[in-house]
Structure 1
Amino acid sequence: MSTLPPITVSREDRDKIYNLLDNMPAHDEVAEGLYDELDRAQILEKQAMPDDVVRLNSKARFTNEASGKVYHLKLVMPADMSGDQCVSLLSPAGAALLGLKVGDSIEWPLAGKRLRLQLNTVEA
């Protein structure tokens, strides 16, 4: 990956995500990327999380920089997927968004290509 923006994750979200990842098959590309992200994340208590950072169950408005398409989706655990207004943490876009701050961009591997996302806004 290119230079990665700093990310911030709540201790509660980190623990939920580790629990999910520890029960997944080995060699899952998104899971391996999430382990790397959690390793480099600044971890804060839930009440100390900034309002402009993507966390589980927050709504993110972001742009796919390759297509210019703008999305407004809620980041959820796979078991909480309901309808097309959600993005799973285990999808490339969901994994890439975790912990980003408004204004950040990130590149994430996607089937031999790169997914480049720009975070526009976050709603709790």
Structure 2
Amino acid sequence: MTSASGLPPSITVSTLDLNRLDAILESPALSQTPAALALADELNRATVLDPKDMPEGIVMMHSRVECEDEVSGETHVLTLVFPREANVDEGKVSVLAPVGSALLGLAVGQSIDWTAPGGRKLRLRVTAVHNDPA
């Protein structure tokens, strides 16, 4: 995923989320899947902080994220969850979904370019983050 500048946006991840996600990525069933490799790439470039040092407005696991598609003006509310918790009907997006791994670690105001299923181009800008560090 890239930002409007063409470069990947900077991301911040808590040690708690990093440890939980690393455990998922070590699963033999997932470790070499494209989704797991994409998430691993995101985690490898992240700034990692202790949970108590995480700034406000950062997308973490179980965050409810409000975002706007800067191309169409549509707004979306998603909750970033672990794969077993994903439920499209409830707006719960797996961190292993392309948009999930792209949103992880973003801050309010940051944008990502993303191609939705079907090839539609989106530029999602994070407008609000509500954290529930469960």
TM-score, normalised with respect to structure 2: 0.80
Distance 1:39 1:85, change over 3 A: same
2:14 to 10, 24, 27: 10
> Unaligned stretches of 5+ in structure 2?
none
1:92 to 88, 98, 107: 98
Residues 1:30 and 2:35 are matched in the alignment: yes
The two structures, once aligned, show a CA RMSD in angstroms of 2.1
Is the Cα contact below 8 Å between 2:31 and 2:37 reproduced in 1? no
The correspondence of residues 37-52 of structure 1 with structure 2, limited to 5 A, is 37-52=42-57
Distance 1:85 1:31 in 2: 21
> Unaligned stretches of 5+ in structure 1?
none
Identical pairs, percent: 37
> 1:25-53 CA deviation, whole Å, 9 max, x = no partner?
51x22221111111110000111111110
> 1:81-101 CA deviation, whole Å, 9 max, x = no partner?
244221111111111100000
Distance 1:4 1:112, change over 3 A: farther
Distance 1:39 1:25, change over 3 A: closer
Distance 1:18 1:9, change over 3 A: same
TM-score, normalised with respect to structure 1: 0.86
- Residue 120 of structure 1 is matched in structure 2 by 127
Distance 1:111 1:32, change over 3 A: farther
Is the Cα contact below 8 Å between 1:93 and 1:115 reproduced in 2? no
- Residue 64 of structure 1 is matched in structure 2 by 69
Paired letter, 2:125: Q
Distance 1:112 1:19, change over 3 A: farther
How far does residue 106 in structure 1 lie from its aligned partner after superposition?
1.5
